[in-house]
Amino acid sequence: MAEQTEKKLIFSGIQPTGVFTLGNYIGAIRNWGPLQDEYRCVYSVVDMHAITVRQDSVKLRQNTLQAYALLMACGIDLEKSLLFIQSHVHTHAELSWILSCNTQFGELSRMTQFKDKSQRHPDDMNAGLFTYPVLMAADILAYNADLVPVGVDQKQHLELARDIAQRFNQRYGDFFTMPEPYIPLVGAKVMSLQDPTKKMSKSDTNPNACILILDDKDTIIRKCKRAVTDSDTVVRYAEGKDGINNLMTIYSSVTGKDFDAIEREFDGQGYDTFKMAVGEAVADHLRPMQETYAKLIGDKKYLNECYTQSDAKALAYSSKIVQKVYHKIGFVDAR
Ligand code: TRP
């Protein structure tokens, strides 16, 4: 991470919950590469957040390394950015405790994700699920991040992080930077292939609804061929043609062609030809990334070097901030 202070710092955490979808990729991840020149980027695979729901330990370790390698394959460059594993950097847990003492029970009770998740896991309403947003605030504030790319589902958590920062600043004197949501300029929203009024999601019960970025070519083509479309036959972007609009969005995102060009390309050709072309284009677009991923995940020693290096930089950076916080709240200086 370059030390130029004029560049704003972006922080984002990614949960290790399995292979990303084409929606995650087009809507978010693939846009992170180009950000690295404009901002100081700090990315973390947030394994500590993941354990707020029950995890199989073998699977969690695999998923964490997989997410790490996938992010690298998708363009995060360790010469420019940090990409570290959250549990390796102890300042996050430490700051989380301090912030939890500056967060109200009522504030956490109002978090919609907590309400949803505790309903969905009534047998495991653990305290971590409740304090999850505090750990997220710690992730962000431990780096005094300026910007946090968030989807709608995380907006409330970011607002809470801002409230916590503001309260801390009032109590102890201005210290934390107020993190702002980062709304990406590019990045289309990709919908389910089976119900194009819903967002594409890997938790969809129908596996054909969602393309995973490690799917092989045949699988991708098959899923595209089965995509739900309307009864019209003209490839045209229009209201009421959600399925075709979605496939056009996908095709446009992976080929760079605009909608007019796509309409002309498939003029008079019908949906089957178009669906086949979308599948081919997606598979071709993902192939280089998949090859890079395969190399990375097969080289655990190299991966280890990568995260060890980023972990150390993240620790050095966040320790300076957390030490100042310790001092501000009145802990005796350790050294
Ligand atoms: N809660 C985020 C999610 O589920 C992940 C996350 C953890 C995060 N810490 C963060 C995102 C800090 C942004 C900044 O997607």
Residues 266/277, Cβ–Cβ less than 8 Å: yes
pTM score, whole prediction: 0.94
Residues 237/248, Cβ–Cβ less than 8 Å: yes
pLDDT of 90 reads: 98
Active site residue 117: yes
Where are the alpha helices (H) located in 125-269, listed in sequence order? 127-141, 155-172, 217-225, 242-255, 259-265
The pLDDT mean for the chain works out to 95
Q: What pLDDT digit, counting tens, does each position of 46-101 carry?
A: 999 999 999 999 999 999 999 999 999 999 999 999 999 999 999 999 999 999 99
Please choose, from the candidates 138, 145, 111, 117, the residue with its C-alpha nearest in 3D space to the C-alpha of residue 46: 138
Q: With residue 150 as reference, give the H or E element that holds it.
A: none
19-33, 175-189, 232-246, range with the lowest pLDDT: 175-189
Q: With residue 214 as reference, give the H or E element that holds it.
A: none
- At 293, list the tokens: 């991923």
State whether the beta carbon of 13 lies less than 6 angstroms from ligand 1.
yes
Q: Catalytic residue among 7, 80, 202, 257, which?
A: 202
pLDDT of 152 reads: 84
User: Cα–Cα distance between 44 and 331 in angstroms, integer?
Assistant: 28
Average pLDDT over residues 8-18: 95
State whether the beta carbon of 86 lies less than 6 angstroms from ligand 1.
no
DSSP state of 212: B
Q: Is residue 3 scored above 60 in pLDDT?
A: no
State whether the beta carbon of 154 lies less than 6 angstroms from ligand 1.
yes
Active site residue 301: no
Q: What pLDDT digit, counting tens, does each position of 192-215 carry?
A: 999 999 999 998 999 999 999 999
